Chain A
């Protein structure tokens, strides 16, 4: 599975402060596609992870993320506060996720037939990530455990938990994205954490 490792997070964290996000948003508003690409590089993994954890299929998640960035570029003029670009982007992604739910009738893919995050053959993925087969297997299994834990949550709990689990999103930003109060969001995140922790704790005990 193509999980982002710590090195990627560190790289993103070290690059992020240097990027003038506001400047990029202003340029993208003026139609600068290069600026949008830089914003894409900065946010795509977080948006993709959110969408993937909500729909359970990477190929479907990438389609949704594609629609999200295309919509964002076309509706840039509707963004009133440039500083809130990240929340606005997640709101578009969230709307697209719920649109997908409505189209297919169920929220997440069945746990009986869980979608893999990466549909490529295992050998190819292992080669691509330079991981040992054991590491790839463990990664896939952990991903399945996380996904099965998320499937125990209702839609509201899942979305706030997933958003809060992404780095750099505060309770206030999560509340803004989902259009709920900070108190209600905190409560749902707490309940969701209990469920997910319990599920993973049981998995670790079995191991």
Chain B
């Protein structure tokens, strides 16, 4: 293995990612070549420096801050679940509603709904009846007017027939006329 090949494989050699045979060849070359070995040492030193200086420590107060935020958010959540204090008006309503069970309130609501429905239905029926009567009287009135018009038209037609019964081209005393061409 020459220096170029060795340096190409150096990073992979450090990470132990090369096949075993090439890994050994690189190792042998590093033992024999001072220049490549120096390169190898600088790379491993760089890795070691990164490793040693990579981690940092948290401030001692960081956990206190985290704990305080968790406790504050937990308090907020509990506060959000507590119902708001009722106003005097709200309290009065609560008392009224609290006197009867939900079944009683449900029955009352159903009865009210039924009564309102019936009232609406009767009103609709009355309105429909009134409309039927109005339409009926309108139709009767209209038929009567049409009948009168028809009768009037028929009388006029008869009168016209009488008027044109006489043939205007008929000369009654035709035979009495003298022949104008007779000499």
Q: Which residues of B contact A204 (CB under 8 A)?
A: 42, 45-46, 49
In chain A, positions 188-207 with a C-beta closer than 8 Å to chain B are 190, 193-194, 196-197, 200-201, 204-205
Given contacts A66-B69, A70-B70, contact A201 B56 (CB under 8 A): no
Q: Does B55 contact A (CB under 8 A)?
A: yes
In chain B, positions 36-92 with a C-beta closer than 8 Å to chain A are 42-43, 45-47, 49-59, 62-63, 65-67, 69-70, 73
Q: Secondary structure at chain A's binding surface: helix, strand, loop or mixed?
A: helix
In the complex, the answer to whether A165 meets B50 with C-beta atoms within 8 Å is yes
In the complex, the answer to whether B67 meets A33 with C-beta atoms within 8 Å is yes
Q: Which residues of B contact A200 (CB under 8 A)?
A: 45-46, 49-50
Q: Does B111 contact A (CB under 8 A)?
A: no
Q: With the chains together, A2 CA to B45 CA distance in Å?
A: 21
Q: With the chains together, A70 CA to B62 CA distance in Å?
A: 12
Total residues of chain B contacting the partner, CB 8 A: 28
In the complex, the answer to whether A165 meets B62 with C-beta atoms within 8 Å is no
Q: Does A85 contact B (CB under 8 A)?
A: no
Q: Which residues of A contact B49 (CB under 8 A)?
A: 142, 146, 200, 204
Q: Which residues of A contact B43 (CB under 8 A)?
A: 197, 201
Contact residues on A (Cβ < 8 Å of other chain), bracket: 35 or more
Binary interface encoding of chain A residues 146-184 relative to chain B, with 1 for a CB under 8 A from any of its CBs, else 0: 100000000000000010011100000000000000000
In the complex, the answer to whether A117 meets B66 with C-beta atoms within 8 Å is no
In the complex, the answer to whether B55 meets A166 with C-beta atoms within 8 Å is yes
Nearest CB of A to B119, in Å: 54
In chain A, positions 61-101 with a C-beta closer than 8 Å to chain B are 62, 65-66, 69-70, 73-74
Total A-B Cβ pairs within 8 A: 101
Q: With the chains together, A143 CA to B57 CA distance in Å?
A: 13
In the complex, the answer to whether A146 meets B50 with C-beta atoms within 8 Å is yes
> Which of B17, B46, B62, B67 has the largest count of A CB atoms less than 10 A from its CB?
B46
Q: Does A132 contact B (CB under 8 A)?
A: no
Q: Which of A70, A143, A146, A201 contacts B42 (CB 8 A)?
A: A201
Q: With the chains together, A125 CA to B15 CA distance in Å?
A: 35
Measured CB to CB, the nearest residue on chain B to A53 is: B54
Q: Which residues of A contact B69 (CB under 8 A)?
A: 66, 70
In chain A, positions 97-123 with a C-beta closer than 8 Å to chain B are 117-118
Q: Which of B42, B53, B66 contacts A69 (CB 8 A)?
A: B66
In the complex, the answer to whether B53 meets A3 with C-beta atoms within 8 Å is yes
Q: With the chains together, A204 CA to B56 CA distance in Å?
A: 22
In the complex, the answer to whether B58 meets A44 with C-beta atoms within 8 Å is yes
- Taking A33-B70, A142-B53 as given, write out 6 further A-B residue pairs in contact, using a Cβ cutoff of 8 Å, ordered by the A residue number: A2-B57, A49-B54, A74-B73, A139-B53, A146-B54, A190-B12
Query: Footprint of A on B, CB under 8 Å?
Result: 11-12, 15, 17, 42-43, 45-47, 49-59, 62-63, 65-67, 69-70, 73
Query: Footprint of B on A, CB under 8 Å?
Result: 1-6, 8-9, 33, 36-37, 40, 44-46, 48-49, 52-53, 58, 62, 65-66, 69-70, 73-74, 117-118, 139, 142-143, 146, 162, 165-167, 190, 193-194, 196-197, 200-201, 204-205
